[in-house]
Amino acid sequence: MDWTFWLLLAASLAGLYALGLVGYRLFLSGKGLKQQIDQAKSLVDQAKAFDELEVTSASPSSAQDLSKLLVRRRAFVRQRQKKAEERQHRLVERIRDIEIDKRKA
């Protein structure tokens, strides 16, 4: 037995091992894909079984509820405006901190 025989045997065994690993990875990927397909099919079946969407408009049941809603809405709008102003302030501060002299020409 020559050393080339052992070299060819080792190379072919390494190739078979690598091929086996690739096959195993493909098997796992196929298994995960099958689970996703089954889940998608069940969601499609649920969507097909859905008859009709009934939309009811929101309306306050009393004047007190309406006032609470308006107060919450004003607070929400104020909070959003405050966040936008803070974001703008941070941007202006960052722009002020830029040192023009250090830029490369």
Q: 96 pLDDT band (50/70/90 cuts)?
A: confident
| pTM recorded for the entire structure | 0.42
* Alpha carbon distance 72, 54 (integer Å): 27
Query: Within 13 Å of residue 32, how many CA atoms lie on the same side as its CB?
Result: 6
What pLDDT is recorded for position 104? 62
* Contact indicator for 60, 66 with CB cutoff of 8 Å: yes
Q: What value does the CA radius of gyration of the chain take, rounded to a whole number of Å? A: 33
- Tens digit of pLDDT for each residue in 22-41? 999 999 999 999 999 999 99
> Virtual CA dihedral for 69, 70, 72, 74, nearest 10 degrees?
160
> Virtual CA dihedral for 20, 24, 26, 32, nearest 10 degrees?
180
Instruction: Reply yes or no on whether the pLDDT at 91 is more than 60.
Output: yes
What pLDDT is recorded for position 105? 53
**Residues near 69 by Cβ (< 8 Å), separated by ≥ 6?**
60
